[in-house]
Amino acid sequence: MKNTKIQAAFLFLLRSGLWGKPQQGKEKQLFPLSEAEWGGLYRRANEQTVEGIVYDGLLLLEKDHLPSRQLQLKWSVQIDRIERSHHRNNSHIADQYAFFTKRNLRPLLLKGQGVAASYRIPQHRVCGDIDWYFESQHQCTLAGLHLIKNNIPRVDTGGQVYRWAAGEMDLHDRLFDLYNPFCKAVLKQYRREFPDTTLSISGQDVAVLAPQVQVIQVTAHILKHSLAFGIGLRQFCDLAALYHHSRHLLDGARLEKLYRQVGVLDWIASVHQFLVNELGLAKEKLPFSSPTRSSGIDILQEVWQSGNFGFYDQDYVKHIDGVLVGRKNRAEAILQRVVRYFPYVPKEAFWFPIIHFLNRREA
């Protein structure tokens, strides 16, 4: 894909925002931008749900390289909304955790706000749903029954998604989004080696995964959506932030061994190259060194085309009167991605469509 000026400027600001480091030498090569180019960059930041991070990079620009006053005001209003959403989600997490533990349930916070704590400016990571993991299907079902009993509405009948105040919460009994059934024992053993910890959120000590396990959970989540309809930059930023924040805790040799055991090591090499080359993660922050080689997977092109969770790939989304209403060509989309990823993650590429479509039939 041609590396357009908008794309190059976008990645420049994303790197600056992630790490808080001005890149003055490169800045003069990319800026200033025209009003139309700034408009395209702003739209892309929203499609990738990294507008808060890109805004942090924008604040490091020289004054004469900034966008128009009108766009700055529009963007700052959006940042205020993101910050408010961050604090509101934290409050909801504390309330939900207390709700479950009061009923002798043991929820574990996944992704989201737990990962945001690894960012340089946590409140500028765009919030998504609140995800809770329960150790067994019985606990997960019981948690849902308690919610319904207390008039917390279920969003749909096909999943464990509930409406809590103005946001959504999702209940899970699957911890890792890896579908090869033969890797379960390996993952379970790895988690035993690194027990869960807690994170203080709105004054509540909330159970979260240990950083050593959190990176696996986030990586598996990226792979799941890469095999399905696409993934955006926010999740790659999550992994970069986790590596940067927790590198001193990670056992690189152990992590590399796990990736090899579950059959994703070749793909991980491409991910690591992407984190360093495009997101600006320092090489020494990688948990282990990966071979530098040309890959058949162009991660940048994929995320640029698909946007957040693939909802901006026009080949596989459907609209009515300009409003997104769902997916189209589902089987074709998954088949194409499975074929593309098979050389790098053969076990997952084999099992993912099987489990995916079985789950849809049972829903």
Q: Does the reported pTM lie above 0.85? A: yes
Task: State how far the Cα of 135 lies from the Cα of 137, in Å rounded to an integer.
Answer: 7
Mean pLDDT of the chain: 90
- Has residue 15 got a pLDDT over 90? yes
Among 93, 91, 123, residue whose Cα is nearest residue 109? 93
> For the residues 272-286, what does the mean pLDDT come to?
96
Ranges 20-34, 266-280, 285-299, most confident: 266-280
Instruction: Identify the pLDDT of residue 358.
Output: 67
Instruction: Identify the pLDDT of residue 293.
Output: 64
Task: State how far the Cα of 228 lies from the Cα of 209, in Å rounded to an integer.
Answer: 25
pLDDT band at 135, cuts 50/70/90?
very high
Instruction: Identify the pLDDT of residue 297.
Output: 83
239 neighbors 215 (Cβ within 8 angstroms):
yes
19 neighbors 280 (Cβ within 8 angstroms):
yes
Task: State how far the Cα of 172 lies from the Cα of 160, in Å rounded to an integer.
Answer: 7
Task: State how far the Cα of 208 lies from the Cα of 214, in Å rounded to an integer.
Answer: 8
Instruction: Identify the pLDDT of residue 323.
Output: 45
Instruction: Identify the pLDDT of residue 198.
Output: 98
- Has residue 111 got a pLDDT over 60? yes
No. of helices (H) and no. of strands (E), the chain: 15, 8
Those residues whose C-beta lies under 8 Å from the C-beta of residue 312, and which sit 6 or more positions away, are 47, 305, 306
Q: Please report, for the chain, the start and end positions of each structural domain, with discontinuous segments joined by +.
A: 1-67, 211-363
According to DSSP, residue 204 is labeled: E
Each residue's pLDDT tens digit, 312-363: 555 555 544 454 445 555 677 788 889 999 999 999 999 998 887 766 645 4
Among 84, 55, 87, 86, residue whose Cα is nearest residue 71? 55
Residue 156 vs residue 131, higher pLDDT: 131
- Has residue 2 got a pLDDT over 60? no
Instruction: Identify the pLDDT of residue 321.
Output: 47
Each residue's pLDDT tens digit, 16-60: 999 999 876 789 999 999 999 999 999 999 999 999 999 999 999
- Has residue 252 got a pLDDT over 70? yes
Q: Which residues of 142-176 are buried (b: 16+ CB within 10 A; e: fewer)?
A: bbbeebeeeebeeeeeeebbbebeebebbbbeebb
pLDDT > 90 fraction of the chain, expressed in percent and rounded: 78
Question: Crossing angle of helices 252-262/211-227, nearest 10°?
Answer: 30
Question: Do strands 108-110 and 130-133 pair parallel, antiparallel, or not at all (unpaired)?
Answer: antiparallel
> For the residues 278-284, what does the mean pLDDT come to?
96
- Has residue 65 got a pLDDT over 70? yes
